[in-house]
Structure 1
């Protein structure tokens, strides 16, 4: 009987020890995740989405951008923070007071245009109006073109103007914005190991065969960090005369 009691006590102590170890591991993982995203328990954050190009309403958002918002909102929720969705036209006139996730290119999101000019001077993201369906992303001397239904590119960056980071997801299509959000959600531990909590980064991702696989087939094609943050602004594209049948169309 005494041996049984000892075994029961030992089993209970082992179970408590295992629970405490698992709790400690979860706490460390959560603390690291919070540090990477600049979030804490109950802290607010901003999700600033670009306007749907075909809608006259400033608060209208493309369904794939909504998918990106859901992915990013899940990150914030896991960190115990609060995500506030703000249309680009209503973005606050301040910077760095809270963690910010900015979604979409400069054509749909003026907040993105401001961040590119102020935080990523070495990156130029063209618009459909000036470059057509190729909408190249230019980083230094590198140029990344969109091939409709075959491949699209997206810039995934973290800028650190203050202690609160700004995450930028700037794709050639709304689908590529979603791909970047999913990549960030699934690879943030790898990104933290590489860049830590206090260093900016800028990656160019390629979404392969989006017509067949949607946002699921993604690869890193360039780490453009030095050029994006320290490089000189790429030159503007020469003006192009677009065919009459392409006027008003978007990728």
Structure 2
């Protein structure tokens, strides 16, 4: 009887120890993943962040364009997972400088004042053309001497950036696109690839990625391609870029 009990007890104990060890390993891995994500987004538990969007010009009241609203919902899920607290603010509301808290700035830089200011200050190598009196060419990106003009519904571009500046060191995330569907596509790319991006750039890294949204008329924000990492060209001071062009 004692031998039988021993034969049953030893495997059971080994199984329990194995399960406990496996749970501990998985828990530690999950904690490391969450910590890496919190560091990447600058969102430690209990911290605050701000989601900045522009108003829907087609509405008489303050409302958010549909694709921008869905983009903000995707970001809100990330913020909640990190244990942080979001605030939504319109682009034309006076906000403090950047760096004190994480900021997500989503919209069209030709209509979004704060986003346009961030591009001027943090991405001086990017020019966004306002278009002619008929609106032709509006939103066209010029980066490092290359021009990216949209074909509405067929081919549209968006910049996805993580930048750090100002006191406090918290990052600013930009989704600056040519149409609202591209803003949602950029946020999706950020959310879906956050683990890979966090592993690559860490808590201190900066990047500016140019993404291309293909056939949004048929597929919405689902088909997204990385055109290039334009960090170097986008962050280059205008005068330096001009000297290079002259050379």
Candidates 203, 218, 221, aligned match of 2:209: 203
1:116-164 superposed Cα distances (whole Å, 9 cap, x missing partner):
1111111112335665255211112011110011111000011100410
Q: Which moved more, 1:209-218 or 1:90-99?
A: 90-99
Instruction: Tell me if 1:135 matches 2:139.
Output: yes
Where structure 1 has 5 or more consecutive residues not aligned to the other structure, the ranges are 236-251
Q: Structure 1: how far apart are the matches of 2:96 and 2:39? A: 25
Q: Structure 2: how far apart are the matches of 1:125 and 1:55? A: 25
- Residue 94 of structure 1 and its aligned partner are, at CA, apart by 2.3
Q: Structure 2: how far apart are the matches of 1:46 and 1:121? A: 23
Candidates 106, 111, 115, aligned match of 2:109: 106
The structure number with the bigger radius of gyration is: 2
- Residue 54 of structure 1 and its aligned partner are, at CA, apart by 2.0
Counterpart secondary structure, 2:197: helix
What TM-score results when the alignment is normalised by the length of structure 1?
A: 0.88
Q: Structure 2: how far apart are the matches of 1:221 and 1:61? A: 28
- Residue 5 of structure 1 and its aligned partner are, at CA, apart by 1.8
Counterpart secondary structure, 1:227: helix
What TM-score results when the alignment is normalised by the length of structure 2?
A: 0.89
The count of aligned residue pairs is 234
Q: How does 1:106-185 map to 2 (within 5 A)?
A: 106-127=109-130, 131-132=135-136, 135-162=139-166, 163-185=169-191
Q: Quick check: 1:91–1:111 contact (8 Å CA) kept in 2?
A: no
Candidates 58, 80, 83, aligned match of 1:54: 58
1:75-117 superposed Cα distances (whole Å, 9 cap, x missing partner):
1111111111111122413221100000012333111111111
Counterpart secondary structure, 1:90: coil
Q: How does 1:1-251 map to 2 (within 5 A)?
A: 1-57=5-61, 59-127=62-130, 131-132=135-136, 135-162=139-166, 163-232=169-238
Q: Structure 1: how far apart are the matches of 2:144 and 2:231? A: 11
Q: Which moved more, 1:197-206 or 1:120-129?
A: 120-129
Where structure 2 has 5 or more consecutive residues not aligned to the other structure, the ranges are 243-247
Q: Structure 2: how far apart are the matches of 1:53 and 1:141? A: 32
Counterpart secondary structure, 2:105: strand
Find the counterpart in structure 1 of residue 245 from structure 2.
Answer: none
- Residue 13 of structure 1 and its aligned partner are, at CA, apart by 1.1
- Structure 1's consecutive aligned runs of 4 or more residues displaced over 6 angstroms after TM superposition are none
Q: Which moved more, 1:163-172 or 1:195-204?
A: 195-204
Q: Quick check: 2:160–2:211 contact (8 Å CA) kept in 1?
A: yes
